[in-house]
């Protein structure tokens, strides 16, 4: 008797911000992937993808972190990341970062070609068209820069959100404009960053939506912080929390009470 065909073996790259600030996103990603038929593993050797060092010009540290990530994930069918930012770093920048290292360049290309942002992987690779979830609110969506521009994540989250019972979608004005986080950008240029997130918060308020969603925890922390300081009632969540049906299991970002 032939063995039953198993789904793809996926390595989940959790990301630093998910691990330290929003573990629910990791659990939501696992649920979505398993519901889609994947076998999911979370390598214990993973650390940072190296993007902060890369953006700061510390090439040596970025290369060391890239090698560590590649070694941890190269045995999987796919690497999936609930973040366009970290996903873009691995998929778009690792091959160039290690291009001059003959031992690691082909390994970097191998892992990069198999790395995907979470929602894009569900829709574009696995062919998922709907999820079994409910979320009773009007939502709006911020397109995070790296996911949008490096990985082409735009229609995929909206397609799956349309299948969530109870969701009413309203588009965010200037959804593709940066929120001002930009990793180290908000540290280097705090005044510019603050003005950008003020504009983003104003656009969120203009929609009348009760919940803001996005695919990157960095953007969500930045926008949630501004909305919270303004006394806004808008809830802020990672899109995976809503798509997985786990939103009720944790407070919105920036809130402490259930």
Would you state the pLDDT for residue 35?
97
Would you state the pLDDT for residue 28?
98
**Residues sharing a CB contact under 8 Å with residue 186, sequence separation 6 or more, in sequence order:** 180, 193, 222
Go through the chain and tell me how many residues it has.
258
Would you state the pLDDT for residue 2?
43
- Output the 3-class SS for the chain: CCCCCCCCEEEECCCHHHHHHCHHHHHHHHHHHHHCCCEEECCCCCCCCCHHHHHCCCHHHHHHHHHHHHHHHCCCCEEEECCHHHHHHHHHHHHHHCCCCCCCHHHHHHHHHCEEEHHHHHHHHCCCCCCCCEEEEEEEECCCHHHHHHHCCCHHHHHHHCCCEEEEECCCCCCCCCCCCCCCHHHHCHHHHHHHHHHHHHHHHHHCCCEEEECCHHHHHHHHHHHHHCCCCCEEEEHHHHHCCCHHHCCCCCCCCC
Would you state the pLDDT for residue 67?
98
What are the tens digits of pLDDT across the range 6-44? Answer: 789 999 999 999 999 999 999 999 999 999 999 999 999
Residue 140 CB coordination number (10 Å): 23
Do the strands 9-12 and 39-41 form a parallel or antiparallel pair, or are they unpaired?
parallel
- Give average pLDDT by consecutive 10-residue segment, the chain, 258 residues: 68 97 97 98 97 94 98 98 97 98 98 98 98 98 96 98 98 95 81 93 97 97 96 97 95 80
- Cα angle 9, 220, 231 (rounded to 5 degrees) comes to 150
Would you state the pLDDT for residue 6?
72
Would you state the pLDDT for residue 26?
98
Would you state the pLDDT for residue 256?
67
């Amino acid at each position: 008797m032939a063995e039953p065909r198993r789904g793809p073996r996926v390595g989940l790259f959790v990301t630093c911000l998910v691990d330290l600030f929003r573990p629910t996103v990791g659990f939501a990603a696992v649920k979505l992937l398993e519901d889609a038929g994947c076998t999911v593993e979370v390598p214990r050797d993973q650390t940072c993808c190296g993007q902060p060092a890369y953006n700061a010009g510390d090439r040596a540290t970025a290369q060391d972190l890239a090698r560590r990530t590649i070694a941890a994930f190269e045995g999987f069918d796919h690497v999936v990341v609930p973040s366009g930012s970290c996903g873009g770093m691995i998929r778009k920048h690792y091959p160039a970062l290690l291009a001059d290292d003959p031992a690691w360049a082909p390994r970097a290309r191998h892992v990069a070609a198999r790395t995907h942002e979470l929602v894009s992987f569900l829709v574009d690779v696995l062919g998922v068209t709907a999820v079994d979830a409910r979320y009773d609110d009007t939502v709006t969506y911020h397109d995070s820069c790296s996911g949008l521009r490096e990985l082409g994540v735009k229609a995929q989250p909206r397609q799956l959100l349309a299948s969530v019972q109870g969701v009413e979608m309203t588009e965010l004005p200037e959804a593709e404009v940066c929120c001002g986080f930009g990793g180290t950008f908000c540290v280097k240029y705090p005044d510019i960053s603050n003005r950008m997130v003020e504009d983003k918060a104003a656009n969120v308020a203009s929609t009348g939506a009760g919940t803001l969603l996005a695919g990157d925890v960095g953007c969500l922390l930045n926008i949630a912080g501004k909305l919270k300081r303004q006394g806004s009632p808008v809830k802020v969540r990672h899109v995976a929390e809503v798509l997985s049906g786990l939103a009720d299991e944790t407070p919105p970002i920036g809130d402490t009470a259930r």
